[in-house]
Structure 1
Amino acid sequence: MDQTAIRDAATLILIRDGQTAPAVLMGQRGANAAFMPGKFVFPGGAVDPNDASVPVTPLADLDRARLVADSTVSAETLAAAAIREAWEETGQVLGAKGTWPDPPAGWRGFARTGFVPNAAALQFFFRAVTPVGRPRRFDARFFLADAAQLCTDPDDFSGAEDELSHLQWVPLSEARRFNLPFITKVVLAELMVHLKRKGPPASVPFFRNDDEAFLVSRLGGASIL
């Protein structure tokens, strides 16, 4: 049995021109990265303990209810982690005007921008656990956000850290030509359907990837295989 610890994680899918020429913000992981080397991915990463102590704008009730299902981490913590990771890896700020009296470590640079994390701009969209046998495993929650909600220039990545290279807005129509993880391909397929349908998703896919079966649950819906 795989004994690799599963860490909670959050990912942000930023969408530009969603109803006309949709594109998503992606970058390439380093060739020597321990997790998904060389793959093009959305900004995201593990939840940090300090993500639980930052002020965020309120999530929608539907998203909060889906996020807390089968989870020991608060919805606000997961939302904050997605926004922090996007800021670190792309330099983009998804925030609402606000001041912080004493921001925790890992958030001080974000706080200096004059914004607090804008969880209200997020929509919970997808959840997946890394399959067994991988050197690192994550229980990742994927959030959608419209690039129009960004407080920064969407084409300026000068504030990004060096974890992702080749940051760019990838047209959905061209995304398949990139070197993508399998789960990212699944998420993009769901996204294409979602953009045509509009409105909140009827349910949120949850790829559990447990030891016994590749069970896919739908949070807010029925289980399927």
Structure 2
Amino acid sequence: MSDGLVARLSSAERKMDFPNLRPKDAATLLILDRQRNGDIKVLMGRRHERHKFMPGMFVFPGGRVDPQDSRVPVAASYHPQVAAKLAHEMKGPRSEARQRAFGVAAIRETFEEAGVFVARRAGDPWQGEGDFAAFSERGLALDLSPFRMVARAITPPRRPRRFDTRFLAVFADEIADRLPEGTGPSGELEEVDWLTLDAAKSLDLPTITLTIIEELQNRLSADPDLAPETAVPFYYWRRTGFIRELI
């Protein structure tokens, strides 16, 4: 199964004559809602047509990690085995602050794009800045302990934009609040909705998004609770195609 996923990613149509940019750190959040009939739904939205990058495609909430994300306080950090996966690097581990920044960025982007607060009730008052002011005003604190890593992928070289993305997941029980508009203040995503994983695969998706959904389905069949110790796939480009290894 994994060989087919690698082959499809490697053969996806792409223009590779741009300057070779260094990938920017990014984080994506898959919020999973377990249904009584056994189905899993995931929160997705359609990128606005005005976007130059992947216009009109359906994606999970997410985006690049901002420098300030590493300075946002969290009430609880990751499970140690999740932290170890996030620290994994081919050239040395990331700092603890940078590891936390992936989860913080995923929470921030999910609020900005989908209007969803992935948080818990704060034990002590705090003052959030920027988008996180909306969290502290509601008495919500950031809790990374329920987060699980499901994949990592680096955009191939010589693409117009390159990202080194950690795909994180939480179950919908971790949603503490939502904006009444049904979308986020950035307006980047439209048609935000809960979709079964099979239904999501029929949409206009980036190839990596389709790959992550299929990786997730395979994992859930054997690991329905997303145990923190489960190895996760890491996709990166080498020479003429993608490599898939487990971390």
Any gaps of 5 or more consecutive residues in structure 1?
220-225
Alignment of structure 1 residues 68-147 onto 2, 5 Å: 68-70=87-89, 71-72=93-94, 74-98=98-122, 99=124, 101-147=126-172
Listed one character per residue, the Cα deviations across residues 65-108 of structure 1 (whole Å, up to 9, x for unaligned) are 01001053622111111111111111111112225544333422
Q: Deviations over 1:156-189 (max 9, x none)?
A: 6255430000101011121221000101111111
Over 3 Å counting, the alpha-carbon distance change for 1:67 and 1:156 in structure 2 is: same
8 Å CA contact 1:50, 1:105 repeated in 2? no
The one-letter amino acid paired with 2:24 is: R
The two structures, once aligned, show a CA RMSD in angstroms of 2.2
Which of 221, 224, 234 is the aligned partner of 1:206? 234
Secondary structure in structure 2 of the residue aligned to 1:80 = helix
SS at match of 1:151: strand
The corresponding residue for 1:59 is 78
Tell me how far apart the structure 1 counterparts of residues 140 and 100 of structure 2 sit (CA, whole Å): 16
Q: 2 CA distance for matches of 1:146 and 1:89?
A: 18
> For residues 50 and 100 of structure 1, what CA distance do their matches in structure 2 show?
20
Q: Which runs of 5+ in 2 are unaligned?
A: 1-17
Give 3-state SS (helix, strand or coil) of 2:158's partner: coil
Q: Calculate the TM-score normalised by the size of structure 1.
A: 0.88
Q: Which amino acid aligns with 2:245?
A: S
Match of 1:169 in 2: 194
CA distance in 1, matches of 2:126, 2:218: 42
> Per the alignment, do residues 18 and 132 of structure 1 end up closer, same or farther by CA in structure 2, a change over 3 Å counting?
farther
Q: Output the CA distance in 2 between the equivalents of 1:176 and 1:132.
A: 26
Contact conserved, 1:34 with 1:135, CA < 8 A, in 2? no
Which aligned segments of 4 or more residues in structure 1 are displaced greater than 3 angstroms? 99-102, 153-156, 210-213
The structure with the larger Rg is 2
Asked if the contact 2:126/2:136 (under 8 Å) is kept, the reply is no
| Match of residue 193 from structure 1 | 218
Work out the number of aligned pairs and report it: 219
CA contact (8 A) 2:112 2:131 kept: no
Q: Distance in 1 between matches of 2:221 and 2:185?
A: 31
Contact 1:132–1:210 (Cα < 8 Å) also in 2? no
